[in-house]
Structure 1
Amino acid sequence: MSGTPPLRALARSVLAPLAAVSLALGALSGCSSVETVSPEMARADAPEAGSLGKSRPGGSGGVDCEKAKCIALTFDAGPAPATPRLLDTLAKERVPATFFLLGKRHIEKYPELVRRIADEGHEVANHTWSHPRLTDVSEDRIREELDRPQRAIEKITGERPRLMRPPQGRTDETVSKISKELGLAQVLWSVTAKDYATDDSSLIQERTLEGADRDGIILLHDIYPGTVPAVPGIIKELKERGFTFVTVPQLLAPGTPKPGEVYRP
């Protein structure tokens, strides 16, 4: 034997110090230091025989992000009146996305859109019931904020989400513990257009494209008027740059989202 370690084991030894470390996320989300796992690390740490993730429409099911130049579109705080237009665009462009849905005034108001998101093959995820900073509330409130959307989404789609995004990206050990209890992995992001601060679609597109990179997770909101009109241009340019669009679980495949873990590129 040559003594050369297997490729995946070598990748783990190289990536672990980089990805599974305590990162100061103040610039990203304002939260205290938390341990995060990158998509690359999640893939490297998966069993050799792992699945390539849930099949999606548009040829994205089974994509190997160890080889392809993958990126994930994610949308927070919907569904909303603009969501049907967004879904039409995604269907036309054959692009899968991940939707972190908000309960109060959204899931409860637009159950037909929740169902459509799921039926069209997108990843349905949890963004709490009423959008509090989870690091500022009690354990009981955290549990209620996360469990209530789980039950509401399951009632509509027949499946409980496996992903959640903490409001403002704020998480800590307590949030992680309760997320693990509820079977939820936490997903942060690498690119934000700050679309909550502008209705300028051109600026939203510019900011998104400026930060886009391989294994990226793009944070947008389908509740703001400038965002959905920016999406066709974002998709067009990223396709021209050679990106393959995937859901967050596909980005991690053959790894799978682990409850309680915090994923961030």
Structure 2
Amino acid sequence: MPLWSKLPIKKRERRPFGFPTVAAVCLALTLSGCAQVDTTSPADARNHAAKSGQVRFGTVDCREAKCIALTFDAGPSENSARLLDILREKHVPATFFLLGKRHIEQYPELVKRMAAEGHEVASHTWDHKILTRIPDRRIREELTRPDDAIERLTGRKPTLMRPPQGRTDANVHRICRELGLSEVLWSVTAKDYLTTDPRLITRRVLDQASRDGIILLHDIYRGTVPAVPGIIDALKERGYVFVTVPQLLAPGKAVPGKVYRP
């Protein structure tokens, strides 16, 4: 068992901003814990829907456009307002997977702003518990509490969630299906919990970016938000179109209980 998994919560809460907390390190680890999970790619979701006669693509047809999704985990934070300013200036939609405890609770106005400005607001659980390690009752609590809080603030209950550390299993799928939630993983990680250098974060994203990619970043770290303008500009120069995760799947829709990953 890794050392960080044994650290007590009180130890983590005392760490200063900018130092990677245990929870945040878990957020962006590689998907080794879910390597055997059956996933559906955005292309498969689109193709299945098209064959079924669904033809509503929204603002972008990602069968034709070179789409990519920008996602942020573990917010809101004190950096989120600046991030939203950048996204508005660049006309880029994003998908936010929010934590409840100490985040949604602390920054309710930012949650409202995310939804009002056209971003997809989703859940990253209430307290970042590893869902495969806790009983069903606590899984449901981790999933329902942030959804209820987001619905109270935005008027819309989330349909997407991202499991902490990407760890999921058949039991988590079953509970997500009952709650009307789909799980969203990722294909690009900048490991922004390990560096405050925006140039390094930018390079890591650009090195991994590909069509239908889902980029994982965290706006809780001081090096991440300054990297976002350069990431957006460089990917636009490469011909990418930024979309939310639901738009990436369109005309398909995320199916509760399924896991989506490029």
For residue 133 of structure 1, report the CA deviation from its aligned partner.
Answer: 0.8
What corresponds to 1:52 in structure 2? 57
| Residue 189 of structure 2: aligned partner | 192
Asked if residue 100 in structure 1 is aligned to residue 136 in structure 2, the reply is no
Alignment of 1:130-209 (within 5 A): 130-209=127-206
Change in Cα spacing, 1:27 to 1:86, as seen in structure 2 (3 Å) is closer
Letter in 2 for 1:38: S
Confirm whether residue 254 of structure 1 aligns to residue 251 of structure 2.
Answer: yes
After superposition, what is the alpha-carbon deviation per residue over 1:174-214, rounded to whole angstroms, capped at 9, x for unaligned? 11111111111000000000111111111100000000000
Aligned to 1:34: 37
1:48 CA displacement = 2.4
Measured in 1, the distance between the counterparts of 2:208 and 2:80 equals: 24
SS at match of 1:99: strand
Name the CA distance, whole Å, in 1 between partners of 2:30 and 2:101.
28
CA RMSD in angstroms, aligned pairs only: 1.1
CA contact (8 A) 2:54 2:252 kept: no
Q: Distance in 1 between matches of 2:209 and 2:35?
A: 25
Matched, 1:88 2:91: no
Q: Which runs of 5+ in 1 are unaligned?
A: 1-25, 54-61
Runs of 4+ aligned structure 1 residues displaced above 4 Å come to none
Rounded to whole Å, the distance in 1 between the matches of 2:32 and 2:123 is 18
Q: Are the counterparts in 1 of residues 183 and 260 from structure 2 also a CA contact under 8 Å?
A: yes
1:238 and 2:243 aligned: no
Contact 2:31/2:167, CA 8 A, preserved across alignment:
no
Given the alignment, which residue of 207, 226, 250 partners 1:229? 226
C-alpha separation in 2, matches of 1:244 and 1:31: 28
The Cα offsets for residues 141-173 of structure 1, whole Å up to 9 and x where unpaired, read as 110000001100000001100100000100000
What's the CA shift for 1:32?
5.2
TM-score by length of 1: 0.86
For 2:156, what is the secondary structure of its paired residue?
coil
Partner amino acid, structure 1, of 2:55: G
For residues 199 and 104 of structure 1, what CA distance do their matches in structure 2 show? 24
Q: In the alignment, is the contact (CA less than 8 A) between 1:32 and 1:172 conserved in 2?
A: no
Structure 2 gaps of 5+ residues are 1-28
Taking the aligned partners of 1:49 and 1:179, their CA distance within structure 2 comes to 24
In 2, the alpha carbon distance for the partners of 1:127 and 1:29 equals 18
| Secondary structure of 1:197's aligned partner | coil
Q: Equivalent pairs: percent with the same residue?
A: 67
- The count of corresponding residues between Structure 1 and Structure 2 is 232
Deviation at 1:27, TM superposition (A): 4.7
TM-score under structure 2 normalisation?
A: 0.87
